């Protein structure tokens, strides 16, 4: 029974010793909790903002890719209309010698001159 009594006296001495600090500790705990809640909200809003920016950037990439596809189609359509006169105007010249490359079954290359 004395050990229980000694333990109770020890607890009372500890409680009396730290009594003046309890209000400071409680205030510090409230400040830490408030700061944690604020930072949680801040980082959550930042994450949502980044997700929205990512979605917007992906939409812009899709739109630009579509426009690029249209322009590539127009370019290919325009270059198919290459006539000898237009080629000469663009600076193309007639080759002096024409060579044809023939690939055989044994995967060897041979050149045939015309």
Q: Where do the domains of the chain lie? A: 2-113
Contact predicate 112/99, CB 8 Å:
yes
- Angle value at C-alpha 92, between 87 and 94, nearest 5 degrees: 105
pLDDT tier, 72 (very low <50, low <70, confident <90, very high otherwise): confident
Per-residue pLDDT of 79-95, as tens digits, reads 777 777 877 887 877 77
pTM: 0.44
- With the CA atoms of 18, 21, 26 and 31 taken in that order, what torsion angle do they form, in degrees rounded to the nearest 10? -140
**Each residue of 7-57: pLDDT tens digit?**
888 888 877 777 778 888 889 999 999 999 999 999 999 999 999 999 999
- The pair of structure tokens assigned to 40 is 């949680």
Could you tell me which residues are beta bridge partners of residue 110? 102
Name which of 71, 75, 92, 74 is nearest 83 in CA terms: 92
The pLDDT of residue 28 is: 94
């Amino acid at each position: 029974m004395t050990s229980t009594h000694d333990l109770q006296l020890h607890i009372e001495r500890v409680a009396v010793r730290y009594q003046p600090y309890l209000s400071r500790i409680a205030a510090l705990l409230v400040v830490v909790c408030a700061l944690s809640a604020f930072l949680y909200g801040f980082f959550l809003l930042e994450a949502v903002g980044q997700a929205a920016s990512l979605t917007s950037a992906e939409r812009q990439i899709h739109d630009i890719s579509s426009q690029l596809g249209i322009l590539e189609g127009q370019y290919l359509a325009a270059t198919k209309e290459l006539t000898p006169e237009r080629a000469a105007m663009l600076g193309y010249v007639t080759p002096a010698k024409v060579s044809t490359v023939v690939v055989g079954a044994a995967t060897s290359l041979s050149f045939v001159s015309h």
